[in-house]
Amino acid sequence: MVEKKIILIGGGGHCRSCIDVIERGQEFTIAGIVEQPGKKNSESLLGYPIIGYDNELDALKKTYDYALVTLGQVGSSTVRQRLFNRLKQAGFILPAVISCLAYVSKHAQIGEGTIVMHQVMVNANARVGKNCILNTRCLVEHDVRIGDHTHVSTGAVLNGEVRIGSGSFVGSNGTIVQGVKLPDNWFLKAGRLIASEKDGHPMKEGQ
């Protein structure tokens, strides 16, 4: 089997969690971490070297085919979107990475560059967009639709037929009632029960 080496873009706390998912899955070998210029705080992260910076992606593409955005997202997805688009422009393959400890129905779809963390459940006929984070122990029920570049945080519950637009954020342990439809760039605080669109609010600048 051909070894698949992957580079990780962004070396913070979310990256550490992504490393654990990738190691457990054994589909990819992590080649190293790519940081923002001036953000290199050490020579390695969990034993993986810092191999370059965001402005060197074209050069890195000559060596590596696979990449994943591992910068976290609390609120705005702007930076993750920029990195995803830059990687696509450079010609990288951005695989969907799914924890071996998660359950994803064979009738569900996961978009490119999305990571599904440990203990996540994605049920039948759910559709998850590109470059999303489905964080630890969240539940995505049947027929849910999640737009690109959205972060569903730890322990959040999206009940059947929920619709969430792109670039949104669902806080930890939030619950969205069945059938609720939320537009793009929507922000839901941790622990909230969302019974209608008015229970959240549009993303604020810098959030």
The span from the CA of 165 to the CA of 147, in Å, is: 5
Tokens found for residue 188: 């839901």
In angstroms, the first-to-last Cα distance of the chain is: 44
Chain centre to alpha carbon of residue 42: 24
Whether residue 118 is found in the same domain as residue 195: yes
Report pLDDT digits (tens) over 15-39: 999 999 999 998 999 999 999 876 6
CATH code for position 163: 2.160.10.10
State the Cα angle at 153 between 142 and 170, rounded to 5°. 75
Query: Residue 1's pLDDT band (boundaries 50, 70, 90)?
Result: low
Is 0.75 surpassed by the pTM of this model? yes
Query: Residue 206's pLDDT band (boundaries 50, 70, 90)?
Result: very low
Whether residue 126 is found in the same domain as residue 186: yes
The answer, yes or no, to whether residue 204 has pLDDT greater than 60, is no
Among candidates 197, 151, 156, which has minimal Cα distance to 173? Answer: 156
The residue out of 58, 90, 122 marking a domain boundary is 90
Whether residue 103 is found in the same domain as residue 197: yes
Report pLDDT digits (tens) over 69-109: 999 998 789 999 999 999 999 999 999 999 999 999 999 99
Whether residue 50 is found in the same domain as residue 101: no
207 occurs within a structural domain: no
Place of tokens 């000559």: 62
Whether residue 127 is found in the same domain as residue 178: yes
CATH code for position 76: 3.40.50.20
Whole-Å CA distances, 196 to 10, 139, 172: 34, 19, 18
Whether residue 170 is found in the same domain as residue 107: yes
191 occurs within a structural domain: yes
Chain centre to alpha carbon of residue 70: 7
Q: What is the arithmetic mean of pLDDT over 148-154?
A: 98
Number of domains in the chain: 2
Whether residue 80 is found in the same domain as residue 101: no
Place of tokens 């995505």: 140
The residue out of 74, 90, 106 marking a domain boundary is 90
What is the span of the domain harbouring residue 38? 5-90
The answer, yes or no, to whether residue 190 has pLDDT greater than 50, is yes
